[in-house]
């Protein structure tokens, strides 16, 4: 009678390690995509909140501006999103060079916000809550009139229409 050894052979262990390794590689790729997607969704949330606050500020119109002047402006400088309101007495349109922001938030460092192929620098709103083009020379010459924005992080992107 021949005694048979107990345990696993070297080939069985190597096959198990190969399968385990391929599962780890695929899990790494899925995790990277999941993280990029969550960063994009976080940035979309920050922008949506900023636009809502900007429109609400414009409708309140604390600076008393009229016509097509910017009652509020949402400025994006790199990863910093800031909201400015128009100043009163005499009424001065909102611009990105104001001293104090009414609201500030941060986008993730790897997020990019684009509109019509270029980087988005600001969104301005009239006292009716409608998009306007702020006065030239106010530091906001690259404001978007379109509400269709593309937010991306790595190879993941999302197209957003902000109402």
% residues pLDDT > 90 (the chain): 36
Alpha carbons 134 and 114: distance in angstroms, whole number? 19
The reported pLDDT for the residue numbered 135 is 65
Alpha carbons 45 and 151: distance in angstroms, whole number? 11
| 51 pLDDT above the threshold of 50 | yes
The reported pLDDT for the residue numbered 14 is 94
The reported pLDDT for the residue numbered 20 is 92
**Residue 107 Rama label (left phi>0; alpha psi -120 to 50; beta):** beta
| 137 pLDDT above the threshold of 60 | no
| 142 pLDDT above the threshold of 70 | no
Alpha carbons 66 and 96: distance in angstroms, whole number? 19
| Pair type for strands 156-161 and 111-115 | unpaired
The reported pLDDT for the residue numbered 107 is 93
pTM for this one?
0.79
Contact in structure between 120 and 139 (CB atoms under 8 Å): no
Q: What are phi and psi of 160, to 5 degrees?
A: -125, 135
Residue 6's pLDDT band, with cuts at 50, 70 and 90, is: confident
The reported pLDDT for the residue numbered 63 is 87
For the residues of 47-116, what is the DSSP string, one character each?
HHHHHHHHHHHHHH-TT---TTS-SEEEEEETTEEEEEE-BTTTTB---TT-SS-SEEEE--TTEEEEET
| 138 pLDDT above the threshold of 70 | no
**Residue 7 Rama label (left phi>0; alpha psi -120 to 50; beta):** left
pLDDT greater at residue 29 or residue 76: 76
């Amino acid at each position: 009678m021949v005694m048979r050894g107990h345990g696993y052979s070297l080939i069985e262990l190597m096959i198990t390690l190969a399968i385990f390794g391929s599962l780890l590689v695929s899990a790494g790729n899925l995790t990277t995509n999941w993280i990029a997607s969550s960063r994009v969704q976080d940035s979309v949330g920050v922008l949506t909140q900023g636009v809502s606050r900007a429109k609400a500020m414009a409708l309140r119109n604390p600076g008393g501006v009229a016509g097509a002047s910017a009652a509020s402006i949402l400025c994006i400088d790199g990863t910093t999103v800031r909201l400015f309101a128009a100043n009163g007495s005499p009424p001065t349109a909102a611009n990105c060079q104001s001293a104090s922001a009414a609201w500030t938030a941060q986008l993730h460092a790897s997020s990019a916000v684009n509109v019509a192929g270029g980087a988005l620098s600001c969104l301005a709103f009239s006292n009716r809550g409608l998009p306007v083009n702020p006065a030239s020379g106010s530091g906001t010459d690259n404001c978007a009139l379109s509400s269709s924005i593309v937010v991306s992080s790595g190879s993941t992107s999302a197209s957003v229409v902000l109402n």
